[in-house]
Structure 1
């Protein structure tokens, strides 16, 4: 015969676990609120004390909001437009734009094509078209292309480039090894 006290305890534990599992982290909402307050009239998320460029601050804020499923924020469309109107064609910016476009469900092919055509003979990707390959730019591009429908076979040269340049860190163009990473 079942023990009523034991059954009540089990139900209490299961209810508690269910409630805890669906609770949001307590620090998430103030952080999101703060990010939203940094929205500027031109669409950028930035403050006067930022050490990042307005483009980078906006790109990283958009990625955070999308990853936290905060997609109904009224500041998102102007921020996406701000990102799209920035024209400096560095690999990092193209990669950040591709990541944000993927999260926003926008067209990816034009940016994907721009990044894949930057692939150098050594397998790496440079800061701009026809620039020497760098580890950081190659990593940025791979990070962005990995979330698209780019066939893995097209990414093998860049993956091999990174594998050939690692030794527990990544030395770049004759410089000392760096522990710089991409998430």
Structure 2
């Protein structure tokens, strides 16, 4: 497929996803295809089980920070929140699909230690997929969070090979 045959927004055009769309993408990812639309889902691994109350999933943005929280329930710890936080670039220093996150997910220490990495990984994968779908076949160029959701600006696709050749030629000067 050539670049000209890809349909989608023109380079420089921003596409938006509301906070409800972001939350739904995370709910769907946490539930998996077999349980989409369920108010809760059970994750099990090695004899450990935890219930995620995905119907109570919360997504908040504040500046360049995205916070995703879900209530969990387990026999060992009762009800406990599980929280993942991602910090993106700012308007002055925009980021593409890059974010900083906490060393460990937040919430009940033992719940976060056991299930936090998986939770954060699923949420991040869902976010990356949401950005890709929002870009509609184009190259995501800039991601901006705002109170109402997410804005993805697309850019021309850049060939890594061409970029490397240009860099090499520039170094030779």
Query: Does TM-score exceed 0.5, indicating one fold?
Result: no
TM-score range, shorter chain: under 0.3
Larger radius of gyration: 1
Q: TM-score, normalised by structure 1?
A: 0.25
Return the structure number with greater relative CO, CA threshold 8 A, min gap 6.
2
Task: Say which structure is richer in strand.
Answer: 2
Q: TM-score, normalised by structure 2?
A: 0.26
Task: Say which structure is richer in helix.
Answer: 1
